[in-house]
A = this chain, B = another copy of it.
């Protein structure tokens, strides 16, 4: 399955949007968290600033998000994990509401209750969560619903290579294959689960080889490249829509920032992240577009301006929205 020009351009623009979103967040997140504004003696205060709490960024991992989501419709389900922005953006989650959520504002997707790890946008069937591996069975449920309805939606579960050692992974893959569910499992291998290297967590080199254990196709995408992901995902999504069952795909990708913001990253070589950026997938796709005459400097500038405006507007919306009332904490425990 080859990407159309439109799809290539869409992926390029979305990758830029994700990157800009994450790089903006690096700065916004730091606001208010450094001395001298914080408690004496601290180097950093995770609970301070306009966007408090944990923050897991996905810069470098854009290809897996756009390469998969390029095949998805609004009514297909995506379940992400604790590092969810790239998936959310690629799935067209409302960017303003998503950003407001991270600011803890009442205009946020979850009215400020969820925060960055817990983004829910039912309009595009996106959700994610902070428990490693937990999304895989949930995606099976959405796929089961489509199958029961007899409609052709698919569900995608995205998670890290670290999550592939969680029991939920195994149970979900068996269930999906057994019931021939239209679900695609995507493992983002960014080489680390926090500080633990894949070789110290996973008994084999590639999770794609675990597909055999369930009798489903397993595909390894060795390049952190949107087009390569697009091709692998295209086959898997088509297979799922045809009712032929699940696929497991592992994509080798790169994490440019720490596990979370504030991560001292002492566990990895000092220049590793810098070296990884030598293979940045965004300029790579840009070069391809240019080689195919789909992009020139002007178009690139226009596109980047458009993205900046979108991202900037989202951050402004988040920042300027009101907080919920404290007592709103009591609402929404139960639906009535």
A residues lining the B interface (CB < 8 Å): 165-171, 173-174, 176-178, 200-204, 209-210, 212-216
Contacts and interface: CB of A to CB of B under 8 A. Distances in A.
The prevalent SS among residues of A at the interface is helix
Contacts of A213: 204, 209-210, 212-213
A171 B178 contact: no
A170 B174 CA distance: 11
A162 to B, nearest CB: 11
Contacts of A166: 167, 171
Contacts of A204: 177, 212-215
Contact of A168 (B167, B169, B203, B215): B167
Contacts of A215: 203-204
One complex includes copies of this chain to the number of 2
A201 B168 CA distance: 16
Given A209-B212, A212-B209, A171 B177 contact: no
A176 B168 CA distance: 18
A203 to B, nearest CB: 4
Nearest to A201: B178
Contacts of A167: 166-171
A204 B177 CA distance: 9
A239 to B, nearest CB: 15
Contacts of A212: 204, 209-210, 212-213
For A170, A176, A200, the residue with the greatest tally of chain B CB atoms inside 10 Å of its CB is A170
A173 B210 CA distance: 12
11 contacts: A165-B174, A166-B167, A173-B203, A174-B202, A176-B203, A178-B202, A203-B214, A203-B215, A204-B214, A209-B213, A212-B212
Contacts of A201: 178
A234 to B, nearest CB: 24
A170 B209 CA distance: 14
A220 to B, nearest CB: 14
Contacts of A210: 212-213
A178 B202 CA distance: 6
Given A167-B171, A170-B171, 20 more contacts: A165-B170, A165-B174, A166-B167, A167-B167, A167-B168, A173-B203, A174-B202, A174-B203, A176-B203, A177-B203, A178-B201, A203-B215, A203-B216, A204-B213, A204-B214, A209-B212, A210-B212, A210-B213, A212-B213, A213-B213
